[in-house]
Structure 1
């Protein structure tokens, strides 16, 4: 391999990564998209080959510095590409494509797919799907995960559908990344940073909840997957509002599986349910318990559904829950009149 040719190809790829942040992507077709990922993969191979060869690496680093200087003059706002970035070049490419607001929606569908990046349409080139599938399996998927946009300027129906699909993709990416981390020996610190960064970068917390819910719905029982789910649940316990929102979005059967497997999650989940109940007030005109502003979206029916599912998980847990509800009812005056104690009314429903 001639070094002059390598440096020329390296420069071309850096120019490509600069171009994808501009209006030039409007002119791309699917073949151009595929070739872009091939060039990115080529640079990852360069990194793997020359990372430990100090002399050659130094030459490539200097060439990249010169290229970056030229690109900054040509493309305002250009983000430099370092030699270390070559190890995740496909991720840089995908990240910059997804963050570009002028990216054609047809290309977005190729990258995101109907439910996951691995599901594409018959007319889409196989190579593009293959490159994205490789991205999902790679540890540095966190770079893609935290950069995926939440677009709120589309029409309500289309936008809701797109956000749902996007959450499915991000949930899969999240679990794939965590599985890779824990499967490689348990990188708890890196996993914590990934989740925190995702929460900080996403403008809408509800979307983060959808991503978490999607991740937790994945039924894969490997040691790494179990560790990933446990880590997410522990992380949720540090953010009560996020945990409450997650409990509203995740199906009850999935929540109950976590209740059975994770005692700490069970304890925090019970706290959430009691918070929902204590924030309710009885509406005399409607003749029912209604949520206050802090628990909007939690009806008394939803609350009883959660408690009913909880006590059905085991006779012992039913006994513990009913004992605590009785104690709370007594603290309210131990009245058996509907509407005087939410705890008493909960017990009445659970006893039927």
Structure 2
């Protein structure tokens, strides 16, 4: 842990140099690539330890010490806090671009075109064309944002564009973070228009696969959805049942994730004596017991092979609740009864 804290402190100092020091006059292509390599290292450290409260406290204390020492020697220094760690590459880039001492050669490199044949520099990833790449992502996000066209046809066009853009990002190497960042930007750009975003995602997953270049983006999109539980739940709630069934029939991975969401919705239900029905307690958006049952029925009708194993699992959950056949005692028992009526 001592080495991690030392690297964290050194990287924050590096960001300060990049933003405020004339030392960047001496920076070359390799130095810039190393700097971004250390920024990525700290982003990885954040993803690894952000949920560990003890380690987080130690890292926050180290950041406070480093920030204090830098504020004492650098006028106008902006401190780096723990929540800033996931975007250190972004902060590094802003610091460099705002530093008037940045050599024109480095500026040209950042706005240049990456050579697809050689996109690495030894131990560190080449950052040639980094700004151009960001501009392309921002442009694509702008085009994909739901400005006026909320029709199904508009979503189909944007879905195809999403697949194409993801394919281009994934073809650049084994690092999937640029594609993840791009999807995050699209999601943020669709804030307040969640249903449209869901329609675009569905259209992308249902785009006809003519080649491996289209299969890879769809597989990546499915993996991304599985890791974004709130987005997946929102998608399953917002999309029409017919569209969800089309996705389930097209992608086994989505079918299984969809089934898991339905079981999650059921587990979040409590029986309301006043209403005489199972109701949601924590899931957002809320789903009624009747809608939950309808989702399961449609899924089982479209994917009969899924029904046997799922009902076995539901029955095991019912048994763990006491195996009572009295309504209102187990959501799993009442769900099985509704499915078998």
- Normalised by the size of structure 1, how large is the TM-score? 0.50
Corresponding residue of 1:271: 260
Corresponding residue of 1:294: 283
- What do residues 123-159 of structure 1 show as CA deviations (whole Å, max 9, x unaligned)? xxxxxxxxxxxxxxxx9863323235968xxxxxxx8
1:173 and 2:168 correspond: no
Corresponding residue of 2:184: 196
Q: CA RMSD in A?
A: 4.0
Q: CA deviation at 1:253?
A: 4.4
Corresponding residue of 1:305: 294
Q: Distance in 2 between matches of 1:169 and 1:194?
A: 18
Q: CA deviation at 1:222?
A: 3.5
Corresponding residue of 1:233: 222
* Aligned counterpart for 1:143 among listed residues 127, 138, 145: 138
Alpha carbons of 1:273 and 1:182: their partners in 2 closer, same or farther (altered >3 Å)? same
Q: Distance in 2 between matches of 1:149 and 1:232?
A: 15
1:281 and 2:276 correspond: no
Give ranges in structure 2 of 5+ residues lacking alignment.
Answer: 1-106, 114-133
CA contact (8 A) 1:141 1:173 kept: no
Mapping of 1:1-352 within 5 angstroms? 142-147=137-142, 162-163=149-150, 170-181=158-169, 188-204=176-192, 206=194, 208-260=197-249, 262-352=251-341
Q: CA deviation at 1:259?
A: 3.8
Q: Distance in 1 between matches of 2:275 and 2:323?
A: 23
- What do residues 104-138 of structure 1 show as CA deviations (whole Å, max 9, x unaligned)? xxxxxxxxxxxxxxxxxxxxxxxxxxxxxxxxxxx
Number of residue pairs the alignment of both structures matches: 218
Q: Distance in 2 between matches of 1:259 and 1:211?
A: 16
Q: CA deviation at 1:320?
A: 0.4
Q: Distance in 1 between matches of 2:176 and 2:145?
A: 27
Q: Distance in 1 between matches of 2:160 and 2:233?
A: 22
Give ranges in structure 1 of 5+ residues lacking alignment.
Answer: 1-80, 88-138, 152-158
- What do residues 168-197 of structure 1 show as CA deviations (whole Å, max 9, x unaligned)? 554342122124445788774432232133
Q: Distance in 2 between matches of 1:141 and 1:337?
A: 59
Corresponding residue of 1:78: none
Corresponding residue of 2:42: none
